């Protein structure tokens, strides 16, 4: 870590934080624990994913979650509902999944089509099966420092930071973005890791100066390359959660919230887009499903790092 910090401060290219490699290693540990769970309980951990509508990107994402669950030795239950489904029918499905003993985790793919109340659906999920970590009870547990299920993307970001930096105590961190999916839980996780945390967003005054003071930058604002490379403090670690499609040289390309090329000349380490945070998001969903299964079975939750 010392060598990487020195490299960032003298202007050499930052190290790339390989999210796929981290996710693969975590997946191996999850698969071993899933086999152990099945041997002890007579059943595999079960994940139910609910998709409303026919958005192609969401369909691909849901299928990838199902394939990953099966690859790791878990059961996958996929429920695809028409865009015209009523609120009451969707809530009835959530009720059935809550009562299903073979289902340990429930994830409703967001956003839902217009006319459906997302908050009511999230609140209807059994908090013990809320593997997306969005239920107000789980959010409250996180804010209070109590054990609960943590939102997948920020938890994956924390794993990448710990693997890259080790102990995060005392570091200055900034989270750019305040969504309930990433920004707010990310700030809580960093506080729990003893960082000094600044919460910022697209309307923050003097954002460049605030970013420039941070040892850790987590970008989750959803604006293509909004954070310029010359904002980054030399030697900082950058976690880029954003994904936007932009046209470059006549082709559509996927970019993050950070100017990757510019930031890499100053940072110590940085996640690429794609291949950084994304693979960890799916794998931490599997992690949460495994944890939920153990808790529901009255077994100690495994420490997967």
By annotation, the residues acting in catalysis are 65, 109, 132
Are 189 and 155 within 8 A, CB to CB? Answer: yes
Say how far apart CA 295 and CA 301 lie, in whole Å. Answer: 6
Handedness of CA 211, 164, 134, 50 (dihedral sign): positive
268 three-state secondary structure: coil
Say how far apart CA 291 and CA 119 lie, in whole Å. Answer: 24
What lies within 8 Å, CB to CB, of 118 at 6+ separation is: 108, 110, 111, 112
Are 208 and 228 within 8 A, CB to CB? Answer: yes
Conformational region of residue 149, where left means phi above 0, alpha means psi within -120 to 50, and beta covers everything else: beta
């Amino acid at each position: 870590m010392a060598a990487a910090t020195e490299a960032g401060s003298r202007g050499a290219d930052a190290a790339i934080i390989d999210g796929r490699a981290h996710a693969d290693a975590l997946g191996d540990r999850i698969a071993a624990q899933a086999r152990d769970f099945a041997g002890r309980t007579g059943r595999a951990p079960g994940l139910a994913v609910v998709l409303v509508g026919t958005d192609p990107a969401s369909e691909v994402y849901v299928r990838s979650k199902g394939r990953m669950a099966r690859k790791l030795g878990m059961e996958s239950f996929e429920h695809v509902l028409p865009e015209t489904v009523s609120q009451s029918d969707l809530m009835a499905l959530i009720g059935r999944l809550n009562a299903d003993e073979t289902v340990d985790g429930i994830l409703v793919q967001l956003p839902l089509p217009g006319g459906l109340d997302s908050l009511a659906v999230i609140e209807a999920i059994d908090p013990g099966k809320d593997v997306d970590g969005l239920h107000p009870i789980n959010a409250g547990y996180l804010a209070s420092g109590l054990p609960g299920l943590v939102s997948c993307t920020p938890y994956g970001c924390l794993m990448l930071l710990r693997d890259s930096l080790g102990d995060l105590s005392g570091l200055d961190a900034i989270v750019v973005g305040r969504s309930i999916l990433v920004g707010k839980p990310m700030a809580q996780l960093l506080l729990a890791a003893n960082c000094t945390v600044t919460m910022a967003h697209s309307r923050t005054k003097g954002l460049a100066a605030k970013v420039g003071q941070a040892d850790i930058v987590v970008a989750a604002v959803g604006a293509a390359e909004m954070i310029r490379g010359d904002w980054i403090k030399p030697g900082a670690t950058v976690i880029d959660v954003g994904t936007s499609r932009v046209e470059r040289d006549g082709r559509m390309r996927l970019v993050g919230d950070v100017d990757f090329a510019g930031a890499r000349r100053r940072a110590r380490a940085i996640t690429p887009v794609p291949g950084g945070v994304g693979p960890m998001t799916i794998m931490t969903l599997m992690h949460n499903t495994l944890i939920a299964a153990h808790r529901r079975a009255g077994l100690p939750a495994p420490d997967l790092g």
